[in-house]
A and B are shown apart, each in its own frame.
Chain A
Amino acid sequence: MAELAVDKHVKYILAVEKNKDSFESVVMDHLRMNGAYWGLTALDLLGKLDSVNVDEVISWILKCQHESGGFSGNIGHDPHILYTLSAVQVLALFNKLDVLDIDKVATYITGLQNEDGSFSGDMWGEVDTRFSYIAICCLSILCCLGKINVEKAVSYILSCKNLDGGFGCTPGVFCCVGALALTGSLHYVDKDLLGWWLCERQVKSGGLNGRPEKLPDVCYSWWVLSSLIMIDRVHWIDKEKLVKFILDCQDVENGGISDRPDDAVDVYHTYFGVAGLSLLNYPGLKAIDPAYALPVDVVNRIFFSG
């Protein structure tokens, strides 16, 4: 079986951070904050977070914060809940949450909760269960979850019928399960039923797909796998086969991981591949928390050192 080419992946991630001049990077630079989260979390899981200049990153992050308290994907862009979570997660990685005015961020997020308990992504009102997860995860990291109406948030999520799997997409399922996990509400889930649909995502090659009849993709190693772990049904898939699939998605020459074997690599799939392997207890990687999507030691630091 192939091995994880740790050094190559580290080199790849660091190189991506620096490349700002291709067409790809220009059309993606509005989500640089997400990219930062993927790249830096992957580096941390690989044990190489210290390869990065902390101060530079933090100073750039703070430039992305708006008056409203929300963060944008890059300097000069509009704020959105998606980038706000990534910003908070990156600061948590570096143990620099103290640079934040937590009330300000919390105000931005609480302002996005609607009457029915759902969350909008930004001032323009698009509602999605992903945003519920993001709000809950973000405020949880900042230790002020009580600032939103948790009960309504939970009841909205439960009303979305994502939970028997047949009604939505797997990132949506992960977000629902994650949000319920973070609010102590997993007892509302029929774990057998959900686990059933999730374990059916494993195809013959060992990879996981996101929906019936679709090809396997490394990113589902996260969405599906972390969901299964949270509902305690991970033994319902063949873990060894999945490890092999992820390792086959590496570009062992140039570093990076792609969605499936022999495709082009990107930071997104590199992160999900490494995170997936971490969930599968691949040796040499830091453990990752399936609900917070942050290394376990980072989560412990938030909750156990005041």
Chain B
Amino acid sequence: MDLLNQLETILESDPLIDEVGLIHPSQFITLSKECSESSNSSSDGAFRPANTKFWNRDHKLGISTEILLPVCKAAKSAFMDAMKQYKTHGDLSVNKREDKNMVYGHSSSCQSFESEVMKHSRALLLLSCDLGTAWNARKLVVSKKQQLPMFTDELHLSALVLSYSHKSEQAWSHRRWVIKMICEKYSNLQQIIAKESELVEKIAERSKMNYRAWNHRCWLVSYMTREQMLYELKKSRDWAGLHVADNSCFHYRRRLMLGISENKQGDDPSYDVENYQVVKEELDLNEALIKRYIGREALWLHRRFLSLCLIRHLMTTTHGISCHSTSMDNEINIFLDKELRLLDSCSTIQDTEFEDFEGQAMYSTMYFLWLIKQIPEFRKIELQEKLKAGNLKNILHKTCPERSFLWDVLEL
């Protein structure tokens, strides 16, 4: 219990802690030496006894690996006890609603149980961040109080946890709950969403291909305005270009684009034009990246989505009715010709030493086959001629023989 007290005292005295880490006992000695050396040179010259269990300076918290298990057990035990007390007392005060001597919900004992629950759950969650019951306890307390500073504290705690446990599903889920609560009561929604999006990007930088972080960012899209979606797409463009292997990042871009195209707000034809522009720009970006970063599967997968968007767009009028017009057919033909040329340029394996060229050939072939699968019937006849000229079947056999069966699936 003493260890737990120490930890909780530190957390209480330093609410700005932004980093938590585990320290091997031997490292403590080094850190303590550095600390006493620098404090000797400071004015007070006070001696600080070396603490070999916890380290707290500059808003960083270090915990010795030696005490991790005991302090975790102590925190869990204290938390479970506090929860029992809190819930029992909660039931009692509900039953005693008629008792005039009871100040419901604000009695000092009720408040002290509450603060015990919050205190112990905070320590516990820093050590064992996936304990749903502890997060739920905090939800319970905070939802009863409904105070913005408490909601903000929850965001702070979960951000701290996520800074070292990038994938903690419980922490991400807790944030979503808090945001929903805040959005219901307070209306600075856009700002919250923008900040949340930035947080994800920061964490994604440290923790590559973090599905849960990006999934959280996708969840935010349903709270965004069309302008915000367009802004997000533009703002994260450069980041995407620097992380071309991160499929989750492109999944997010697809989610934004879907949101943009679905968010019509009336029949204004300018929206359709804008949507078309968005797809075209993304296709251009994608092509540039494909040519620069050879053999990146995520890029080719992204292209599948984009091409489909474009074709569907070309096949519908602004009123959403499918129709064939010669100019439209032309557009689609031009597009397919371009894609065929892209395929040609990618399917020559220039150098068998680097797997990337082989990858490029395989992915481009698979992309094109997938495109054929997606195109409505009436196109296939025109395309077949072009394909015969392009010798697609041979390329398939050469680049990914294990997928040769897909040729039959296509029924060409």
User: Chain A: residues with CB nearer than 8 A to chain B?
Assistant: 22-23, 26-27, 30-31, 72-73, 76-78, 80, 122, 124-126, 161, 166-169, 192-193, 196, 199-200, 202, 211-214, 235-236, 238
For B244, the closest partner residue in chain A by CB is A213
A137 to B246, CA, bound (A): 33
Are A211 and B248 closer than 8 Å at their CB atoms?
Answer: yes
CB distance from A76 to the nearest CB of B (A): 6
Are A211 and B133 closer than 8 Å at their CB atoms?
Answer: no
Are B247 and A211 closer than 8 Å at their CB atoms?
Answer: yes
Are B373 and A213 closer than 8 Å at their CB atoms?
Answer: no
Are A125 and B177 closer than 8 Å at their CB atoms?
Answer: yes
- Residues on B with C-beta less than 8 A from A211 are 209, 211, 247-248
Are A27 and B211 closer than 8 Å at their CB atoms?
Answer: no
CB distance from B211 to the nearest CB of A (A): 6
**Is B280 part of the binding interface, using a Cβ–Cβ cutoff of 8 Å?**
no
Are B409 and A192 closer than 8 Å at their CB atoms?
Answer: yes
A23 to B128, CA, bound (A): 10
A230 to B305, CA, bound (A): 25
A72 to B136, CA, bound (A): 13
**24 A–B pairs (Cβ distance < 8 Å), ordered by A:** A23-B72, A26-B72, A26-B128, A27-B130, A27-B131, A30-B130, A30-B133, A31-B130, A73-B132, A77-B131, A126-B173, A126-B176, A166-B251, A166-B305, A168-B251, A196-B406, A200-B366, A211-B247, A211-B248, A212-B247, A213-B297, A213-B298, A214-B247, A238-B402
- Residues on A with C-beta less than 8 A from B215 are 169
A78 to B130, CA, bound (A): 13
The 3 closest A-B pairs by CB, nearest first: A212-B297, A27-B128, A78-B133
Q: Which of A78, A213, A235 contacts B132 (CB 8 A)?
A: A78
Given contacts A169-B211, A214-B209, contact A26 B176 (CB under 8 A): no
Are B177 and A126 closer than 8 Å at their CB atoms?
Answer: yes
Are B301 and A166 closer than 8 Å at their CB atoms?
Answer: yes
Q: Which of B130, B136, B373, B405 contacts A236 (CB 8 A)?
A: B405
Are B247 and A23 closer than 8 Å at their CB atoms?
Answer: no
**Is B304 part of the binding interface, using a Cβ–Cβ cutoff of 8 Å?**
yes
For B248, the closest partner residue in chain A by CB is A211
**Is B273 part of the binding interface, using a Cβ–Cβ cutoff of 8 Å?**
no
- Residues on B with C-beta less than 8 A from A26 are 69, 72-73, 76, 128
Q: Mark B120-154, 1 if CB is under 8 A from A, else 0.
A: 00000001101111001001000000000000000
A211 to B248, CA, bound (A): 9
**Is B370 part of the binding interface, using a Cβ–Cβ cutoff of 8 Å?**
yes
A202 to B366, CA, bound (A): 14
A76 to B77, CA, bound (A): 11
Are B296 and A213 closer than 8 Å at their CB atoms?
Answer: yes
For A22, the closest partner residue in chain B by CB is B69
- Residues on B with C-beta less than 8 A from A27 are 72, 127-128, 130-131
Are B403 and A199 closer than 8 Å at their CB atoms?
Answer: yes
Are B132 and A30 closer than 8 Å at their CB atoms?
Answer: yes
Are A166 and B373 closer than 8 Å at their CB atoms?
Answer: no
